[in-house]
């Protein structure tokens, strides 16, 4: 027997909206106030959401449980698979020692602190976000800057701010894939919309990063390098998101940005080499706290003298060059996709598939809600990454034993993040199948033409709470779609806005700040770091809000 969703179970839309909001408010309370670990908070929230769905929205309890497990399964495949494969490939470069070549080849390009920030915090950080995500950009790039002599506190702050534009396409497109998964939209179309929204932000972030460091005059001095870095990144991100799918934008744009800036630095030098000294302190820009920590340089622990041949550098970067080729083939060539899809198995979820009916005003007539698990063994982007890992084993000259140990280590390290992703996806699917997300969407639609301003803010809140753009999209992706549809706006735009707004919340999420302080030896100064990043986060989310509003009504 089919169950029909009821979007106003209490007979009063305001009260129904408040009741549908309870699980999200509870999630906020557990994370922001009770300081629970993310996966524990998500599991408790699922319990609250099931009670809400069954008692208030009269959802059959079996459907509630099944939709939760169905969502968790979609969190592990294909999203969790992509993340495991991406982190595994990154770990192989660490085990082989080639990652040191990658790091030092970048660090040796210049001794100017402004240019090092562009190369490492922005371009290399974006590469790490695309290849691994989950704190790797802040942890590795922050430690690298500190090793070059940056004050550790300042290195952490810069990397948090730099890790903005790349987040939407992090971990081989996991946030976009998640947004598409929960909203039922095409991941390619969501990726295109996000690429459009982030175009200006990707150009602006390098400028803003150096302006924070050095003030206006010193920023203008390296403006050519800033433009080369930002424009090459933004254009590549735009092109790849439009034509190669959501998996490649970060990897491709970061490598192009690094190469363009490196080549540019071969023929151009700034008027002076910028270093942090007391007389370089610019009030309002470099002053982070009362101790003037920014003004003091540390002793460098990383050598900046070039010591590698072109062959050594290309070998070190080769796994990610191969990755670009394979992922592009996986997503962009129809002939290849058709062959890979032959190995796809579709499994209808018993008792859930077509058992729930969507109703007016969400749809024009009663429409079955499908629940079919797609197990695309070869077609998933994670498979392209795993094949890259196999090829890289031979290029990097790693034994099968080390290869296998690295994979097991990756699974162990990611067990908590994977539990978090599965839990949040389970919660998201439960909220969607119960009709609670539709109730929230109908309520938010009452904000009228102002909603496109709030769409990115929802993503910002989601990333602040969960520390993950993918998790934020899981929470609010379908809500954005429903609200957009109710208002006659392009739902793809608003779903993408959730991801684009979320990237600006990454720098203030407790998870990111904890990683940053741990990586740079600044544990205990999380509050100082939050106070430094919060104003930049609010400014940047406001920029995305305005961009989304203009796109919604004027473009």
Sequence-ordered list of residues with C-beta below 8 angstroms from that of 12, at least 6 positions apart, any chain: none
Angle at the Cα of 160 (from 45 to 228), degrees rounded to 5? 135
- CB-CB contact of 133 with 171 (8 Å): yes
Mean local confidence (pLDDT), 149-153: 82
Mean local confidence (pLDDT), 323-330: 73
User: Which pTM does this prediction carry?
Assistant: 0.73
Mean local confidence (pLDDT), 170-183: 86
pLDDT in tens, 232-262: 999 999 999 999 888 889 889 999 999 999 9
Angle at the Cα of 453 (from 448 to 455), degrees rounded to 5? 90
Residue 284 has pLDDT above 50, yes or no: no
- CB-CB contact of 429 with 74 (8 Å): yes
pLDDT of res. 302: 59
How far is residue 484's CA from residue 532's CA, in Å, rounded to a whole number? 34
Give 279's pLDDT tier (boundaries 50, 70, 90). Answer: very low
pLDDT in tens, 382-391: 888 899 899 9
* Arithmetic mean of pLDDT over the chain: 84
Residue 56 has pLDDT above 90, yes or no: yes
High-pLDDT (> 70) share of the chain, %: 90
How far is residue 462's CA from residue 506's CA, in Å, rounded to a whole number? 10
Mean local confidence (pLDDT), 410-427: 83
How far is residue 125's CA from residue 139's CA, in Å, rounded to a whole number? 9
Residue 185 has pLDDT above 60, yes or no: yes
Task: Give 332 or 438, the one with higher predicted confidence.
Answer: 438
């Amino acid at each position: 027997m089919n169950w029909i969703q009821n979007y106003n179970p209490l007979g009063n839309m305001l009260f129904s909206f408040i009741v549908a909001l309870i699980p999200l408010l509870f999630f906020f309370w557990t994370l922001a106030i009770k300081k629970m670990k993310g996966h524990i908070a998500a599991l408790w929230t699922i319990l609250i959401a099931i009670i809400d769905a069954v008692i208030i929205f009269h959802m059959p309890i079996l459907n509630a449980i099944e939709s939760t497990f169905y969502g968790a399964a979609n969190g592990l495949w294909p999203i969790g698979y992509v993340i495991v494969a991406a982190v595994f490939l990154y770990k192989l470069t660490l085990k082989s020692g080639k990652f040191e070549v990658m790091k030092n080849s970048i660090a040796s390009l210049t001794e100017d602190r402004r240019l090092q920030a562009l190369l490492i915090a922005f371009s290399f950080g974006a590469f790490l976000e695309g290849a691994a995500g989950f704190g790797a950009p802040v942890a590795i790039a922050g430690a690298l800057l500190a090793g070059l002599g940056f004050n550790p506190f300042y290195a952490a702050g810069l990397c948090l701010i730099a890790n903005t534009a790349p987040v939407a396409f992090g971990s081989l497109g996991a946030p976009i894939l998640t947004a598409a998964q929960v909203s039922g939209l095409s991941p390619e179309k969501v990726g295109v919309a996000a690429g459009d929204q982030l175009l200006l932000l990707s150009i602006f972030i390098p400028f803003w990063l150096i302006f924070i460091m050095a003030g206006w005059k010193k920023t203008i001095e390296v403006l050519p390098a800033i433009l080369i870095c930002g424009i090459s990144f933004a254009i590549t991100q735009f092109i790849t998101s439009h034509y190669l799918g959501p998996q490649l934008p970060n990897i491709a744009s970061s490598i192009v940005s690094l190469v363009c800036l490196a080549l540019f630095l071969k023929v151009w030098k700034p008027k002076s080499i910028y270093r942090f000294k007391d007389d370089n302190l610019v009030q309002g820009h470099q002053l982070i706290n009362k101790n003037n920590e920014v003004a003091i340089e540390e002793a460098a622990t990383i050598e900046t003298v070039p010591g590698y041949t072109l062959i050594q550098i290309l070998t070190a970067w080769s796994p990610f060059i191969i990755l670009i080729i394979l992922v592009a083939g996986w997503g962009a060539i129809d002939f290849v996709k058709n062959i890979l899809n032959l190995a796809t198995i579709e499994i209808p979820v018993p008792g859930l598939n077509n058992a729930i009916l969507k109703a007016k005003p969400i749809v024009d007539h009663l429409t079955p809600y499908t629940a079919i698990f797609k197990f695309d063994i070869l077609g998933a982007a994670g498979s392209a990454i795993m094949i890259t890992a196999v090829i890289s084993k031979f290029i990097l000259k790693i034994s099968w034993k080390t290869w296998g140990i690295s994979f097991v280590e990756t699974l162990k390290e990611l067990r908590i993040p994977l539990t978090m992703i599965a839990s949040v996806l389970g919660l998201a699917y439960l909220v969607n199948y119960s009709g609670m997300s539709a109730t929230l969407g109908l309520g938010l639609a009452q904000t009228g033409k102002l909603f496109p301003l709030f769409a990115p803010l929802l993503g910002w809140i989601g990333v602040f709470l969960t520390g993950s753009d993918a998790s934020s999209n899981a929470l609010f992706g379908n809500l954005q779609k429903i609200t957009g549809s109710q208002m006659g706006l392009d739902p793809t735009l608003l779903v993408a806005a959730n991801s684009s707004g979320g990237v600006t919340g990454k720098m203030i999420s407790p998870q990111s700040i904890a990683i940053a302080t741990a990586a740079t030896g600044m544990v205990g100064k999380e509050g100082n770091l939050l106070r430094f990043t919060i104003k930049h986060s609010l400014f940047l989310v406001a920029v995305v809000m305005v961009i989304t509003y203009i796109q919604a009504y004027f473009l």
